[in-house]
Structure 1
Amino acid sequence: MKAPITTNLGSIATPYDYGAGEITTTEPFQPGLVYETSTIDYLNYLCYIGLNTTTVKIISKTAPDSFNCPKDSTIDHVSNINYPSIAISNFIGKETKNVSRIVTKVGEEDEIVYMAIVDAPNGVKIQLIPEKLEFTKNI
């Protein structure tokens, strides 16, 4: 039986009625690890998805005058933006793709271990190097 989600009063619910999960409002202020990106990273993203320098500068009024799209801009470069998630475009599954991320530890914990959560599609092999980030008081 297919029926819309309803409120206690019987009207059709909106996302504001049933929510999208729990949130912890203090967590954003205690990130632990930060994936630093710059304005240039986001401008380059626009280039990678096919926009030219002129269009990027029209869209982003704050782009530096000296900004130019990289000469080798292709959709394949999107995978290398320093972002917490990883997606690989145009992946056929028969080739090797390398992507990297740079993180900065900003958390207050002296000793902590971070491990990535990988949700790989069937038939895709993922190798993490290193498999975990371990911070100790002595380092």
Structure 2
Amino acid sequence: MHYLEKQLHQTANHLAWQFDQFAAEYDLTGQQLSTIEFLANQPQWQSTQHAIEVEFNIKRSTTTKMLQRMEKAGLIVRKTANQDRRSKIVALTPPAKKLAKTAQQYLKMRQQRLEKRFSPQELATFEQILAYLQEKSDVGETNGKNQ
């Protein structure tokens, strides 16, 4: 039997691999480059560590390790938030801002490739499918419950 979610998972792995390959040209991982691109789209090129965790659905410990490596490489600075001493603010450095433009160009090129191949209606339908699959309300279904 042909399972679309399985195929989507394989496709996501392939896309992540491609992005990792692109990021490796800049001595980064795909996740690091994605984080840079995410921060570039935030006010003042900065955000909380928690927002990064939520955006990429990654654990706090994983995020902390990644950010420590990025800080060591001079790509970000981390500081304690003024409003909440437990919260960390993550901001891009000037070298990372240049990399953000590179990441954005890459993602724009990939988006244009899709837009050339598929109609706006097809892309809108695909976005609806992705949104549905990302809903947390069907977790029980994936565990064999509610069937």
Q: Same fold (TM over 0.5)?
A: no
Q: Normalising to structure 1: TM-score of the pair?
A: 0.30
Whichever of the two has the greater Rg, that structure is 1
